[in-house]
Amino acid sequence: MKLLLVEDSARLSAALVAGFRGEGFAVDHAADGGAALEYLKLHEYDILVLDLMLPQVPGLEVLRALRRMPARTRVLVLSARDQIEDRVSALNLGADDYLLKPFDFAELKARVLALLRRHYGEISSKLVCGDLALDTNARVASSRGAPLPLTPKEYALLETLLRHRGRSFTRAALFERLYDGLSDASDRVIEVVISTLRAKLDKAGLPTLIETRRGFGYRVP
């Protein structure tokens, strides 16, 4: 899943980027509102975590600009501004949630995952496909109840395909979803992730889960 963090505190940003990347998210970071708008023009994000008090362009203006775009990005405002007027303004402009600073990362992560479920119209944190099950809260996969030892990228790729069953993703489209905007990797890394993921699924008795459609990409039917 792809997340944009817009926060001008270097210390807080470093901690949040590390935390979300450790959970398997592809994370971009903007330290001011102007940089945030550039990221939003270039990439489509599942989640935007947005501070309100930003250099250059205020957070509410970033939110207003985003809601003029066709993107369906879910927005969590993360702010020290605790007045009811601030929360009302953000929600009226299209924010989906509002969390006050200081906060605990566990709560922030839980709110982000809840927004992802809303984003994909899911009621439960479980994604099931035959004998395969994904717990999107714990970020773990299992086959017939036995855990699968997936890397964060393998899990993220599998979660993407399961959340869009029947839809084919090109190598480039998967790379956009799994890697941050400043990554120096080639999209050919997706072939490596697919190969190692398939080997683990095959070992777990799920050899035909991921299809390759020549000219279209990869999918879970």
More confident residue, 99 or 1: 99
Q: What's residue 121's pLDDT?
A: 86
Q: What's residue 208's pLDDT?
A: 84
More confident residue, 103 or 208: 103
- What phi and psi values does residue 187 have, to the nearest 5 degrees? -70, -5
Q: What's residue 181's pLDDT?
A: 87
Please write the tens of the pLDDT for every residue from 44-56.
Answer: 999 999 999 999 9
Q: Please, which pLDDT band fits residue 32 given cuts at 50, 70 and 90?
A: very high
Per-residue pLDDT, averaged over 95-110, amounts to 96
pLDDT at position 124 over 90: no
Per-residue 3-state assignment (H helix, E strand, C coil) for the chain: CEEEEECCCHHHHHHHHHHHHHCCCEEEEECCHHHHHHHHHHCCCCEEEECCCCCCCCHHHHHHHHCCCCCCCEEEEEECCCCHHHHHHHHHCCCCEEEECCCCHHHHHHHHHHHHHHHCCCCCCEEEECCEEEECCCCEEEECCEEECCCHHHHHHHHHHHHCCCCCECHHHHHHHHCCCCCCCCCCHHHHHHHHHHHHHHHCCCCCCCEEECCCEEECC
Q: Please, which pLDDT band fits residue 3 given cuts at 50, 70 and 90?
A: very high
pLDDT at position 207 over 90: no
Q: Please, which pLDDT band fits residue 5 given cuts at 50, 70 and 90?
A: very high
Please write the tens of the pLDDT for every residue from 59-99.
Answer: 999 999 999 999 899 999 999 998 999 999 999 999 999 99
- When the pLDDT of each residue in the chain is averaged and rounded to a whole number, the result is 94
Per-residue pLDDT, averaged over 10-17, amounts to 97
Q: What's residue 50's pLDDT?
A: 98
Per-residue pLDDT, averaged over 15-20, amounts to 96
pLDDT at position 24 over 90: no
Q: What's residue 182's pLDDT?
A: 82
Per-residue pLDDT, averaged over 104-121, amounts to 93
Q: What's residue 190's pLDDT?
A: 96
